[in-house]
Amino acid sequence: MSASAVSPYGADFPQGTALKVLVAEDDPMLRMILVKMLTGTVDLQVAEDGLQAWQRFEANPPDLLVSDWMMPGMDGLALCRLVKSVPQFCYVILMTAKDTLDDKVDALECGADEYLVKPVEPRELFARIRAGARIVALNRKLSDDSRTDKLTGLRNRRAFDEALASEAARSERSGRPFCLLIGDVDDFKSVNDTYGHAVGDDVLAAISRMIEQAIRKGDTAYRLGGDEFAVILPECPETGGRECLGRMVKAVEGFRVSAMRGPVGLSLGVAVFEPGQSATLDSLIRRADEHMYSTKRVSVK
């Protein structure tokens, strides 16, 4: 869905939402209405029953689920429970002919965010989807903020831990290695002690920008905390990791902020994750750390 996608029901979605919607409905007529309503305004997936919907969800998790309650194989309540059991946020709109108070309470207690009684007026349903899109956009912002380092703008340690585990799983599936770079600022404590923490912050922010400029598109840089940085290089052999390390060293070489008398050094280490070797992520980080400290000892000498 483009940011300017406009619905035939008179209103567009929040700018930049790019909403992925999964529709689970066993009634062919209502399913056709929903498809006609949403095609061209969202990234749409369609399922004919609850089991198929769960398979679609696992393969490509949506931002918003519109589901019937009464379906063969797996009903809407069971589907809702499964959807809400995974960490990824998904807004759920449940539709049903059941309209007692107990039914509504059951649906909400299963995790449904909206409850609509059939027959559903298309304009109201579309308005509810737009309301859900606003919640999705807010959740995305909150999630992104919680994974961003405020000083440097890089991704933070929480984002790094998640991305490293995800990349290792992808590497095992694809059979392709990836590299991890870890680095820190040489004698950063003396920078803070000599010039003050404001200058130290300027150093970290500037080095972060240099790191981002030195890495490939698709690589991601992280601030792990203090003066420690990391870069994950997907589908990258050790030779590629060492080439990236060289670019980063060259980018920072001779750098200093205006308040400092001398340049700032950045020590870096690289380690490669080879799929199928049963190496742990802790050992990968340790090997990158060890390589970094070996380069630091050489540079100090």
* Cα separation of the two ends of the chain: 57
Catalytic: which of 12, 227, 282, 289? 227
DSSP letter at 280? -
What does the DSSP assignment read for 54-106? HHHHHHS--SEEEEESS-SSS-HHHHHHHHHHSSS--EEEEEES--SHHHHHH
33, two tokens:
């209405």
Q: Which residue matches tokens 């380092």?
A: 149
CB 204 within 8 A of CB 151: yes
Please report which residue ranges of 149-220 form alpha helices under DSSP H.
Answer: 157-174, 188-195, 197-214
Task: Give the number of C-alpha atoms closer than 13 A to the C-alpha of residue 252, restricted to the C-beta side.
Answer: 25
227 a catalytic residue? yes
Say which residues have a Cβ less than 8 Å from residue 288's Cβ, sequence separation at least 6.
180, 181, 182, 230, 269, 270, 271
Report residue 270 CA to chain centroid gap. 24
Cα Rg, the chain, nearest whole Å = 25
Q: Which residues carry out catalysis?
A: 227
